[in-house]
Amino acid sequence: MTDELTRPLASLRQAGLPFYPLILVFATGQVSDEDCMAMKRVPMPELGAPFDSSLSHTLSEAFAKNSSIHDGAIIFTRNRQGEPYTLSAWSMRIVSKKKPRAPEPNFGSAYNSALSLSMAENIDMCCIISPDRTTLFQNGTSHFSET
């Protein structure tokens, strides 16, 4: 896990969010339509926000504009490693069919979906932020963090 992602995620959880759980996906390149599908939202909040300390404010504004954006994953992409991530999609349904190499306990559909998606091409990391912890997923494995 890189500090470029884990530090902002920790501060985001500590800042408090307008909704839980929050599912975030980070990718270098495009996320495949075979792994995620857009759920239509009207109005759709703006895209292009950076993944940085302003994210809590961006989420609050988006939630005020359309409270249904809490349903599904929020996707952040970048073109190449080393570039910053920017918000590229709201309210994505995770439909990945990837299977983890080792059995995992069933912690619910959000957990199972993020775990599966973390194995997909171009996915750097997925995470689920809940009030009591952040769960990080990379390459079909999970890690819980309480900070």
- Tens of pLDDT, residue by residue over 92-129, are 999 999 988 777 777 888 999 999 999 999 999 999 99
**How high is the pLDDT of residue 100?**
80
Q: Work out how many domains the chain is built from and give that number.
A: 1
The predicted-structure confidence for 18-67, as pLDDT tens digits, reads as follows 778 899 999 999 999 999 999 999 999 999 999 988 888 899 899 999 98
At residue 2 the predicted structure's pLDDT band, cuts being 50, 70 and 90, is low
CA distance 15 to 17: 7
The yes-or-no verdict on residue 85 having pLDDT over 60 is yes
Take residue 80 and report the two structure tokens written for it. Answer: 């190449």
Longest alpha-carbon distance in the chain: 41
CA distance 46 to 61: 10
The yes-or-no verdict on residue 132 having pLDDT over 70 is yes
What is the DSSP code string of 40-107? --SSPPP---BSSTTHHHHHHHHHHH-GGGGSSEEEEEESSTTSPPEEEEEEEEE------SS-----
CA distance 107 to 16: 22
CATH number at residue 127: 3.40.1700.10
Pairing state between β 123-129 and 86-94: unpaired
pTM recorded for the entire structure: 0.92
Q: Which residue has the tokens 């300390």?
A: 53
- What length does the chain have? 147
Domain limits at 89? Answer: 3-145
